[in-house]
Amino acid sequence: MKMTTKLAIHGGTPVRTKPFVLGQKHNLAEWRALKPIFARGSIPMTRGPEVMKLREQFAARFGMKYAVTASSGTAVIHTALAAVGVGRGDEVITSPFTDMGSLVGILQLNAVPIFADVDPATMMMTPATVAQKITPRTKAVEVVHLAGLAADTPGILRVCRPKGIAVVEDCAQSYLCTRGTRVAGTMGDIGCWSFNESKHIGAGDGGILLTNHREYARRADLFADKCYDREGGRHDPFFAPMTYRLNALAAAVISEQFKQMDKWAAQRNRLGSRLDRELAGVPGIHPRPVRRGDYATYWFYLFRIDTGRFGISNLKFAEVLNAEGIWCRAPHTMSVLEWSLFKKDTDDRHACSFHCPHYKGARPDYNPARYPGLVTTCSEAIEMLINPHFSLRDVLDMAAGIRKVATYYAQQRKAGTF
């Protein structure tokens, strides 16, 4: 049997020798947007014109009534959960395949994170896995839209609405992606976005939430700003807040980035969709499914490998693909259940979530073995960069590298050489 071209890791010629160009995210228009702030002679501490302009821009673009800014995406999620009433002893259901930013707010509100298993195909929670974890103590579900693909929020809402459970959407990685005609962040009670520099748009850090609920917006504004009434009322805090104000300089930069948001999201969609098509016919390679009518914006490009077909782990597949000049990694560290925070039964002095006298439930089961979808995802997933400055040639090289590695190991496996 004829074997495929020698792998670069074995001394062969790499598919790609030219570095991928990530392009420049910021431009002089953003620098010029800072001039009026300095011309005024001071940088507003809170609710300056740049911050309020940014709120108006986002609310109008997403068709939502209210916007509240904060200092980071993590801060915004913390604020959103506080706004819907999450507190000590409550349970919040979320994904076990995510970033710590999704969990900080739950822990700092002294609520208990409850994890719903993920579907390996999408790497996200499903209505069925969420329904399995609901108890009388469930106060909210935090839906994580992962890497530019929208989760089944309508299905999760059908599970939660009859029980009065709030739904907060974490859209940090998923600007402008849709589930059918509904945009991520506009389906639940509150949608949250991050302005971290790595996100679709960003200015170092920052965050924003959108909601159609006036009371949620009011409480969010108070929670993020010392519980001070900034609309003419008395400074009379009535609950314990945070100080999560968005800096006016960051707001000015983000407002300029906002002008590129749709264009950059569309380019990510074109590149990611093309890569989906290129890989669709490669045996043993499984891109995440994008349903007809949905719109994905590919913050990262995620796919799974058939480890049985190739006879290697996703860690090895990633190592070999990197040698071909195609950056990638196995995102197994995104399993929160492998972190010491959830593996060790410790008394966390920074949050009472796990040893709280107000919590009436049993100790949550954080054993990864109880989450087969998560285990499969972590053992099969591969993550690659997608950047709006990439060219079609870049995407074709990415696909060629994956095909080369997949073909080599499938043939080796079939020949019984390992």
pLDDT in tens, 72-104: 999 999 999 999 999 999 999 999 999 999 999
Helix (H, G, I), strand (E, B) or coil at 96: coil
Between CA 141 and CA 158 the distance in angstroms is 12
Residues 6+ apart with CB under 8 A from 378: 97, 330, 331, 332, 334, 335, 338
Indicate if the pLDDT at residue 347 is higher than 80.
no
* Exposure string for 309-330, b = 16+ CB within 10 A, e = fewer: ebbbebebbbbbbbbbbbbbbb
Listed by start position, the domains of the chain span: 28-258
- Asked if residue 7 lies in contact with residue 404, where contact means CB atoms within 8 angstroms, the answer is yes
Between CA 175 and CA 172 the distance in angstroms is 7
Q: Please give the pLDDT value at position 413.
A: 84
Q: Please give the pLDDT value at position 4.
A: 60
Q: Please give the pLDDT value at position 2.
A: 46
What's the pTM?
0.96
Higher-confidence residue of 325 and 333: namely: 325
Other beta carbons less than 10 A from residue 130's beta carbon: 26
Tokens standing for residue 305: 């490998």
Residues 6+ apart with CB under 8 A from 39: none
Rg (CA), the chain: 23
Mean predicted lDDT score pLDDT of the chain = 94
Between CA 143 and CA 128 the distance in angstroms is 13
Q: Could you give the maximum distance between any two Cα atoms of the chain, in Å?
A: 81
Indicate if the pLDDT at residue 361 is higher than 90.
no
| Least confidently predicted of 129-133, 299-303, 358-362 | 358-362
The counts of H helices and E strands in the chain are 14, 15
Q: Assign 18 a pLDDT band (cuts: 50, 70, 90).
A: very high
CATH of 28-258, one of 3.40.640.10, 3.30.70.20, 3.10.105.10, 3.40.718.10: 3.40.640.10
Indicate if the pLDDT at residue 1 is higher than 60.
no
Q: Please give the pLDDT value at position 231.
A: 86
> Span 330-347, mean pLDDT?
86
* Exposure string for 244-254, b = 16+ CB within 10 A, e = fewer: bbbbbbbbbbb
Indicate if the pLDDT at residue 179 is higher than 90.
yes
Picking from 249, 147, 256, 246, the residue whose alpha carbon sits closest to that of residue 199 is: 147
> Span 150-158, mean pLDDT?
98
